[in-house]
Amino acid sequence: MNADILKERQNATFDVEKLTNILDGGPELTKRRREIESMVLNDPDFMEEDPNFLSRSERYDQAVRKSAQMILKLREYGIADPEEIYCYKSMACGPRPEPVGLHFAMFLPTLYNQCEPEQSRKWLPLAESLRVVGTYAQTEIGHGTHLRGLETTATYDPATQEFVLNSPTVSSIKWWPGGLGKTSNHAIVLAQLYTQGNCHGLHAFIVPIRDMNTHVPLPGIVVGDIGPKFGFDEIDNGYLKMENVRIPRENMLMKYAKVEPDGTYKKPPSAKLTYGTMVFIRSMIVGESARALSKASTIAIRYSAVRHQSEIRPGEPEPQILDFQTQQYKLFPLLATAYAFIFVGQYMKDTYSRISGDINQGDFSELPELHALSAGLKAFTTWTANAAIEVCRMSCGGHGYSRSSGLPDLYVNFTPTCTYEGENTVMMLQTARYLVKSYQQAKAGQQLSGIVSYLNETDHRRVQPQPVSARPTVVDINDLASLVEIYKLRAAILVGMAAKSIQQELQHRKNQADAWNNSAIDLVKASDAHCHYVVVKLFTDKLGEIGDTAVHSVVSSLALLYALHGITVNSGDFLQAGLLSVPQVLQISVRIKELLSQLRPNAVALVDSFDIHNKKLNSVLGRYDGNVYENMFEWARRSPLNATEVSQIQCLVLRSKC
Amino acid sequence: MNADILKERQNATFDVEKLTNILDGGPELTKRRREIESMVLNDPDFMEEDPNFLSRSERYDQAVRKSAQMILKLREYGIADPEEIYCYKSMACGPRPEPVGLHFAMFLPTLYNQCEPEQSRKWLPLAESLRVVGTYAQTEIGHGTHLRGLETTATYDPATQEFVLNSPTVSSIKWWPGGLGKTSNHAIVLAQLYTQGNCHGLHAFIVPIRDMNTHVPLPGIVVGDIGPKFGFDEIDNGYLKMENVRIPRENMLMKYAKVEPDGTYKKPPSAKLTYGTMVFIRSMIVGESARALSKASTIAIRYSAVRHQSEIRPGEPEPQILDFQTQQYKLFPLLATAYAFIFVGQYMKDTYSRISGDINQGDFSELPELHALSAGLKAFTTWTANAAIEVCRMSCGGHGYSRSSGLPDLYVNFTPTCTYEGENTVMMLQTARYLVKSYQQAKAGQQLSGIVSYLNETDHRRVQPQPVSARPTVVDINDLASLVEIYKLRAAILVGMAAKSIQQELQHRKNQADAWNNSAIDLVKASDAHCHYVVVKLFTDKLGEIGDTAVHSVVSSLALLYALHGITVNSGDFLQAGLLSVPQVLQISVRIKELLSQLRPNAVALVDSFDIHNKKLNSVLGRYDGNVYENMFEWARRSPLNATEVSQIQCLVLRSKC
């Protein structure tokens, strides 16, 4: 082991294993996770070529082969719990997505949720055995987030009792679904349903796209890969153009809405029923943000402990990068953010499972709040983690650009979370809609419950932007409860300001839609402040659950750093609202520097606590043993460009032309 | 042409060509640029495979072939002016770097600057004819920015009158130089010079690395490609390990420092002499930031005019994305930034050529200021453009992730500017050193000149953070001169605060080095504020040169947007310093919204003014004609994964295993 990183570990003030257990949700879960991880580790079938050295087609092939292996193994070991499947998969695939990912994440769940019994009997055995490999085809080349804008049509023909599917325009070609290009033989296609001359909006249809024996595209189907992307090399995101493709009436998913044999349309009983999967996926993405940021900060902090560069004191040897204040200031707030997001992810998972229990019993009352929260937090955490991964990468100097660092792959495979499952700005505006509605309800005298209950407190609603208020004197910048309070007030004020902007616009134009659009900047800001408050609050709440004193102490420092750093970045808001005074903002800057020094000796131990195995981290810079340079040299020598000492092109071009 | 984009062009309020001329520096320069561009466009030798569909090795081969073509053509057409060479190259290579880039950017210039006459006679003809293809090998696997930390040694052996070069450790292996892995047959190697038992620090040596006839690596040389990276697929960034490699004494570049045949070392007359190239390259990178951001905003804004999505008014067709306030708020400040950086780039180029004239006449007086300015602005503009490209990419929805958008390539090939030629944080600290030094000189009664002269004004130095000052009443948020003034005051205050922090640290610890490191956060903030002031000032100054009323009007709106947007993002600073009042900050938010609406009709015309040819833009989304989707479909069909309708892996894995 590298001497520097060893020393770092010896200097830690807390027991890493105890913190790992907290992050896993208990020592039993840590143990089980490691058991599952070791199944992959010790399995020769998961030995693979470094994808960095392969062409995209080779990467796709390797990934398909691995997915097939994985499915067999999961069955063999009887791993069926979704958490455990996730754990197995993320060890086997590392940071890379897998071509049959959507089969499991969208195709099967949609069948589970939207088949009527007859359909379940037909399709589930086929899909579960992977005779049918499916994907979920919603977005079109010209249409994304806005479902009503989709153009694909499914027109019912009562004569043959079939639906006829068409892509009537170029802009209606289905575009982006993962696994659509080459891998899938079926797709759930979202299309505008026409029957008896009327359009009934978007519905889901099972469309066979390739022959189940020959895998050749079926008549009327034009299907293929949409070409290389920023990352996701393993995935055949695809296009699908349909020309009079006929499917039997029974291929419409009919648990809720129905089309009778004669073409009569029956509406679904509730619009909320299709809502759940989306909320689930967005909640899970919060956890993805935490995991991605944990990996990035593990790599950046370990390498910063190993890397010596430049000088602090003239004449002395190059110090560890981690001793530079600027490096600490880049990385420690992100480390704190990773912890914050892990705890928020745990909260979202728990909340989802609690509320989905309610939903199964017909109680939808908490769904709107969860919907709003998952939308905003999905955007808040993915945007933050996205930018943070790049900060981590660039904090590694030149080597952060090498694929051997793992950071480029981590970034390109994470960044799509900002766009898929709901574009982030749209997500923020959805949350804002809920906040403004709640604000107006509170103003109208309704008593709000849940996470927006702070909009009730009438005194907060009266807080107005002001240079200096009486409040600041009571804020203790070292007290998290006090900081949670001012984050809450900031959110309340910004929600109020957004609502006021809409009001003012309405007075000028009397058009709700334009008033909303002309207040959109304020609305996004309000959502962001709301999410920030929620994260600070949940992080603070979590501290109450940590018993071990040493662990509590270091995690408290992280929470304080997270809260104070967020204030300095948004100090304008806090000053504007009179929530903090100028001297307090200056004190906070000083306090942040103290916290950086305080966290410095525990930085490596804090990333060790994430307990991310080398194979999963997939980074020469982030290796647990810190032996970076010799391994980077080894890796480089395997570059395909080094296969020949002298390449043809060198001889042909350089020598003959010059 | 797409109807939406046509309408946009018809609605513009100014003459695009006139603005293009301003950006080029005059109508003659526009004309000449287009002439050069059309040479590439009409040249069948520059037809190529879309690199997105090639493996990295194929991309390298294609790039080498193209570089060789380019060199021949430049000679054939007699294009020798560096500006014109740059123009030709950027048309031929698009956003991609070229394997012999460093030969021209570093190897040749270093020969020009550091050869003594005898050496020039030997090496220049070889290098100019590309018999010798060279690179510049400075960084090592374990060492970057800090030159004194480099470990490679060149030990003089008077017995044979040779230098013996060695890479004594793993961490000393030369790493990253472009074109080192496969392309070059020589390298200028930076190594610690030892002679007569003493080390004299870093010096430059010409080291033959491959046989000039067979291209086989020479004895003692281990050389190769460092493997795939985040972008730069075309480039064989390389490693070089040397074991007792002997080169004649004459291969040390001896214009300044010398080693006599008996081993006597002669110091260079001035340390500043090697300074110039670095300042030049950093100044040029400011222009690169402008160009990259111009491209990204062209793509994002054109596509936002073509793309219809979601809804503003219920029931109406999907509006152009560009009509959403959130989209305008994402893109228009970046568009303004692109303009700002173009003007700053012009200023840096002009200033460099003026000052290098002085230097040639032995006057180094302005070099320190230019050095400080180029370091800070390099960091400020590359960080800004880097983040901005990603904002542009993500503003394009899913398609921003497709390589056909051109945005992923633009990002990965631009982002290294944040690290190479001086890591950005280090750059910011270099500028801070100059600022603090100037501040202390002014405090000691010296009269400062040049861009830091604002630190003179004693009344500014007395400005202290305060909640409300008397000043705000005189700030007119619509008057750029007034805004330049408060940006200046902010910079003065933050430089003062950083200096004060160092002072306080010194009182606590009495150690200059630690005091500096413990103030580094404040120092970076001060540098950033200084650069921001410079950019706002130069943008404002430029307006004075624009005669055409319509162009002046729209560019003034951009400048105002740039200045006001920067204030809202940093509103904490302005409030803290009492430079603006809370009501003014609120007014600024309102004013920004007005400016967005005001710029909306000219957005497409403002990116058209950049006049970036489709071939150079290399983006389906950013096409001049706006015909996005049909071309995207065409592009996708050429994806190598579509070469076979059914791939082996599908049949083998999916069908046999399931």
Residue found by looking up tokens 């899938």 in the block = A184
* pLDDT on residue B243: 98
**A309 closest CB neighbour out of B65, B146, B571:** B146
Judge contact between A17 and A9, C-beta under 8 A. no
Structural contact between residues B251 and B207, judged by C-beta atoms closer than 8 angstroms? yes
Chain A residues touching B215 at Cβ < 8 A: 646, 650-651, 654-655
Report which secondary-structure segment, H or E, holds B265.
Answer: strand B265-266
**Nearest C-alpha of chain B: how many angstroms from A653?**
6
Spell out the long-range contacts of A564-569 with Cβ–Cβ below 8 A and sequence spacing 24 or more.
Answer: A564/A477, A564/A483, A564/A588, A564/A591, A564/A592, A564/A595, A565/A333, A565/A336, A565/A592, A566/A487, A566/A532, A566/A536, A567/A483, A567/A486, A568/A592, A568/B572
pLDDT at residue A654 is higher than 80 = no
Would you call B642 and A511 a contact, using CB atoms and an 8 Å cutoff? no
Q: Judge contact between B345 and B287, C-beta under 8 A.
A: yes
> Which of the residues of A are catalytic?
421
CB contact under 8 A, B215 and A651: yes
- Stronger pLDDT, B129 or B32, i.e. the higher one: B32
Q: Which of residues 164-203 of A touch B (CB under 8 A)?
A: 170-171, 173, 175-176, 181-183
pLDDT of B480 above 90: yes
Contact A520 B325 (CB under 8 A): yes
Write down the residue that tokens 């948020």 correspond to: B477
State pLDDT tens for residues A12-30. 999 999 999 999 999 999 9
- Paired with A575 in beta bridges are none
Continuous segment of H or E residues that includes residue B207: strand B198-208
Instruction: For A309-327, write each residue's pLDDT tens digit.
Output: 888 888 888 899 999 999 9
Q: Closest to A636 (Cβ–Cβ): which among B239, B424, B635?
A: B239
CA dist B214 → A647, A648, A655, B606 (Å): 11, 11, 9, 52
Instruction: Looking at the complex, report in whole angstroms how far the Cα of residue A380 sits from the nearest Cα belonging to chain B.
Output: 15
pLDDT category of residue B652 using cuts at 50, 70 and 90: low
pLDDT band at A63 (very low <50, low <70, confident <90, very high): very high
Q: Which positions 462-521 of A are in contact with B (Cβ < 8 Å)?
A: 465-468, 511, 513-514, 516-521
The strand pair at B153-157 and B198-208 is best described as unpaired
Residue spans per domain, chain A = 134-268
> Does the annotation list A178 as a binding residue?
yes
The dihedrals phi and psi of B207, each to the nearest 5 degrees, come to -115, 120
Question: Is B421 one of the catalytic residues?
Answer: yes
Task: Identify the residue among A56, A143, A654 best suited for mutation to test binding to B, counting B beta carbons within 10 A and taking the highest.
Answer: A654
Can you give the length of chain B in residues?
Answer: 658
Listed by number, the residues of chain B in 280-309 with a beta carbon closer than 8 Å to a beta carbon of chain A are: 307-309
**pLDDT confidence of residue B463:** 54
Which has the higher per-residue pLDDT, A510 or A427? A427
- Half-sphere exposure in the Cβ direction for A470 (13 Å, CA): 1
Question: Each residue of B232-244: b (16+ CB within 10 Å) or e?
Answer: bbbbbbbbbbbee
CB-defined contacts A:B, below 8 A? 392
Q: Who wins on pLDDT, A275 or A236?
A: A236
- The residues facing B199 across adjacent strands are B194
Contact A224, A409 (CB under 8 A): no
Beta strands of B146-185 (E only): which ranges? Answer: 153-157, 162-166, 174-175
DSSP secondary structure of A342-402: HHHHHHHHHHHHHHHHHHHTT--TTHHHHHHHHHHHHHHHHHHHHHHHHHHHHTTGGGGGB
In chain A, the largest separation of any two C-alpha atoms, in whole Å, equals 90
The Cα B617–Cα B603 span in angstroms is 17
Which residues are CB-contacts of B366 (< 8 A; sequence separation ≥ 6)? B355, B358, B450
Q: What is the pLDDT of residue A462?
A: 52
The pLDDT, as a whole number, for residue B275 is 65
Each residue's pLDDT tens digit, B396-425: 999 999 999 999 999 999 999 999 999 999
| ipTM of model over 0.90 | yes
Count of helices and strands (H, E) across chain B: 25, 11
Q: Which residue in A has a C-alpha nearest to residue B631's C-alpha?
A: A170
- pLDDT of A625 > 90? The answer is yes
- Residues B437-450 have pLDDT tens digits of 999 999 999 999 99
Q: Could you say which of B98, B288, B421, B485 is catalytic?
A: B421
| Alpha carbons B580 and B564: distance in angstroms, whole number | 12
Token couple for A627: 């032996």
B residues 126-155 closer than 8 Å to A (CB):
129-131, 133, 139, 141-146, 148-149
Task: State the pLDDT at residue B364.
Answer: 82
Determine, for residues A649 and B398 on separate chains, whether the beta-carbon distance falls below 8 Å: no
The two tokens of residue B49 are 């495979």
Residues facing B266 on adjacent strands: B258
- Compute the mean pLDDT over every residue in chain A, rounded to the nearest whole number: 92
- SS in 3 state form for A561-601? HHHHHHHHHCHHHHHHCCCCCHHHHHHHHHHHHHHHHHHHH
Query: pLDDT, tens digit, for every residue of B614-643?
Result: 999 999 999 999 999 999 999 999 999 999
- Helix (H) / strand (E) element for B245: namely strand B245-248
Over range B385-395, report the average pLDDT: 98
In chain A, % helix, strand, coil (3-state, to 5) comes to 60, 10, 30
Q: Write the CB contacts of A500 (distance below 8 Å, at least 6 apart in sequence).
A: none
Interface of B with A in 41-80 (CB under 8 A): 52-53, 55-57, 60-61, 64-65, 68, 71-72
Q: Is B10 left (phi over 0), alpha (psi -120 to 50) or beta?
A: alpha
How far, in Å, CA of B164 to CA of B156, rounded? 6
pLDDT at A471: 53
Residues of A in contact with B386 (CB under 8 A): 390
pLDDT mean over B351-370: 86
Strands lying side by side in the sheet with A221-225:
A174-175, A238-242, A221-225
Q: How far is CA A221 from the centre of its chain?
A: 32
CA distance linking residue B298 with residue B158, whole number of Å: 60
Nearest-angstrom CA–CA distance, A559 and A478: 11
- A interface mutation test: which of B69, B186, B199, B310 has the most A CBs within 10 A? B310
DSSP state letters, B383-410:
HHHHHHHHHHHHTTGGGGGBGGGSHHHH
Going along B30-90, which residue ranges are E strands? Answer: none
Q: Which distant-in-sequence residues (6+ apart) come within 8 Å of B642 by Cβ?
A: A181, A224, A225, B636
Reported as a single tens digit per residue, the pLDDT across B102-132 is 998 889 989 998 999 999 999 999 998 889 9
Judge: A420–B402 Cβ closer than 8 Å, yes or no. no
Q: Measure the CA–CA gap between B240 and B224, rounded to whole angstroms.
A: 7
B644 belongs to an annotated ligand binding site? no
Q: A128-132, A464-468, B523-527: lowest mean pLDDT where?
A: A464-468
Specify the DSSP class assigned to residue B106: I
Indicate the residue of B52, B215, B658 with minimum beta-carbon distance to A650: B215
Question: CATH class for domain B134-268?
Answer: mainly beta
pLDDT range class, residue B228, cuts 50, 70, 90? very high
SS3 content of chain B, % helix, strand, coil (to 5): 60, 10, 30
